[in-house]
Amino acid sequence: MAEIVLENIVKRFGNLVAVNNLNLRIEDKEFVVLLGPSGCGKTTTLRMISGLELPDEGKILLDGQDVTFKRASRRDIAFVFQLYALYPHMTVYGNMAFPLKTQGFSKEKVDEEIKMAAGLLKIDHILNKKPRELAGGDMQRVALGRALVRRPKAFLLDEPIGTLDAKFREEMRTELKKLHVDIGATTVYVTHDQVEAMSMGDKVVIMNKGDLQQIGTPSEVYHNPENLFVANFIGSPGMNFIECMPVKDEGGNVTLKMTDVNQVIELPDNLQKIIIKNNKIDHELILGIRPEDINLEFKECKNYINAEVYIIETLGSYNIIDVKLGKYTIRVRTLPTVSPDIGTGCCIGLEMNSITLFDKKTEKSIMKN
């Protein structure tokens, strides 16, 4: 079993704060994905868990034991890097046997472990090949195999399939997930690809510039982003944002006046209440809405906003239609059959249950407060 806990972890490189006060609990058998743009501190975090890097502040606990200053080789954790160096002069079998031989396993035990891992990874047929004879995907499988034979307490995978082409990545994604289900070891997986993160993680940890942004299930981070960064980073395309000002009329009804566009968005009671409860009347807000939560119509509809078709992206099973209203470009996901001419007048209706409101100044969601 392996539960990994990071407590107030800080890592600096000179003046740069690579990881800023990170708190994270990774449960036993969990598949956790660290996600964020380049340079946000993912690899540094992983290297600290593995013991290859020491934190400047904070503690790392493995099954409740403080391992902050314990050497990497003593942590029973396997680290698979993106560009995993296999020994070129050894066969696949030799590569996989190497870590076990150095640990003094008997020949029979080594053989048993390799057969087990090779079976799981479907690389039985290439055990006698040399790395240069292998395709990228197989090479990555061998690298995983080499980690697997050690039966580590936890796997740390740093963009393990990042270099593979898109089609192959998809296959490996499914295989890795299946492998995790089969062996059930705690896994921390690093990627900057949000689709990969969402499809694989039990839990997604989103970071930006060393700061933790949100921890949640894929569904939580998608549907309830805690700030603008997460809302924009997750989803393809990301959330649409509309700047607006909540105004209250004499009757007490709260509406949103769009900034720089002469249009008003009517709100259901629950959203009005959230705005009032947060004291946001006459405070700038940002309304966030996902492309699939917008209805596009080509006739007048009550409570819809007027816009104009700007660009159409045909993506096979759906279309993304960009519509313009004043300074805003709003991306709408439609059925593939919707294909209006550019410049056509249209109106858009927002699914009110799917709106997230953010404070413009703090960039934080006000939905939970």
Binding site for Mg ion (CB under 5 A): 43
Q: Minimal distance in Å, beta carbon 17 to ligand ATP?
A: 9
Q: Are 252 and 318 spatial neighbours (Cβ–Cβ below 8 Å)?
A: no
Q: Are 223 and 231 spatial neighbours (Cβ–Cβ below 8 Å)?
A: no
By CB under 6 A, name the one of 40, 78, 172, 346 that touches ligand ATP: 40
Q: Minimal distance in Å, beta carbon 299 to ligand ATP?
A: 46
**Quick check: 12 binds ligand ATP (CB under 6 A)?**
no
Query: Quick one: 33 or 355, whose CB is closer to Mg ion?
Result: 33
Query: Quick one: 115 or 192, whose CB is closer to ligand ATP?
Result: 192
Q: Minimal distance in Å, beta carbon 40 to Mg ion?
A: 9
Which of ligand ATP, Mg ion, none does residue 192 bind (CB under 5 to 8 Å by kind)? Answer: ligand ATP
Q: Minimal distance in Å, beta carbon 213 to ligand ATP?
A: 13
By CB under 6 A, name the one of 2, 6, 9, 18 that touches ligand ATP: 18
Encoded one letter per residue, x for contact with ligand ATP by CB under 6 A and - for no contact, window 187-226 reads -----x----------------------------------
By CB under 6 A, name the one of 2, 9, 32, 43 that touches ligand ATP: 43
Query: Quick one: 38 or 262, whose CB is closer to ligand ATP?
Result: 38
Q: Minimal distance in Å, beta carbon 334 to Mg ion?
A: 36
**Quick check: 13 binds ligand ATP (CB under 6 A)?**
yes
Q: Minimal distance in Å, beta carbon 43 to ligand ATP?
A: 3
Q: Is 286 left (phi over 0), alpha (psi -120 to 50) or beta?
A: beta
Q: Are 55 and 10 spatial neighbours (Cβ–Cβ below 8 Å)?
A: yes
- Helices marked H in the chain: 42-50, 92-102, 107-121, 136-148, 166-183, 194-200, 218-223, 228-233, 269-277
What is the C-alpha separation between 102 and 344, in angstroms, rounded?
69
Which of ligand ATP, Mg ion, none does residue 44 bind (CB under 5 to 8 Å by kind)? Answer: ligand ATP
By CB under 6 A, name the one of 26, 41, 60, 97 that touches ligand ATP: 41
Question: Which is it for the CA torsion 209, 210, 213, 219, positive or negative?
Answer: positive
What is the C-alpha separation between 185 and 179, in angstroms, rounded?
9
Q: Minimal distance in Å, beta carbon 49 to ligand ATP?
A: 12
In this structure, the chain runs to a length of 369
Q: Minimal distance in Å, beta carbon 72 to ligand ATP?
A: 15
Q: Minimal distance in Å, beta carbon 205 to ligand ATP?
A: 12
The two three-digit tokens of residue 134, written as one number = 């292998």
Q: Are 307 and 294 spatial neighbours (Cβ–Cβ below 8 Å)?
A: no
Pairing outcome for strands 264-266 and 254-258: antiparallel
Among 303, 304, 323, 305, residue whose Cα is nearest residue 313:
323
Buried b (16+ CB within 10 A) or exposed e, 154-184: bbbbbbbbeebeeeebeebbebbbebbeeee
By CB under 6 A, name the one of 44, 91, 187, 213 that touches ligand ATP: 44
Query: Quick one: 36 or 288, whose CB is closer to ligand ATP?
Result: 36
- Strands lying side by side in the sheet with 31-35: 77-80, 154-158, 186-191, 31-35, 203-208, 211-216
Query: Quick one: 197 or 347, whose CB is closer to ligand ATP?
Result: 197
What is the C-alpha separation between 235 and 224, in angstroms, rounded?
12
Contacting range for ligand ATP; rule: CB under 6 A; set: 36-44, 176-184, 281-289, 356-364: 36-44
Distances (CA, A) of 126 to 161, 176, 344: 19, 19, 58
Which of Mg ion, ligand ATP, none does residue 319 bind (CB under 5 to 8 Å by kind)? Answer: none
**Quick check: 16 binds ligand ATP (CB under 6 A)?**
yes
Buried b (16+ CB within 10 A) or exposed e, 303-324: ebbebebbebeeeeebbbbbbe
The contact set with ligand ATP (CB under 6 A) reads 13, 16, 18, 36, 38-44, 192
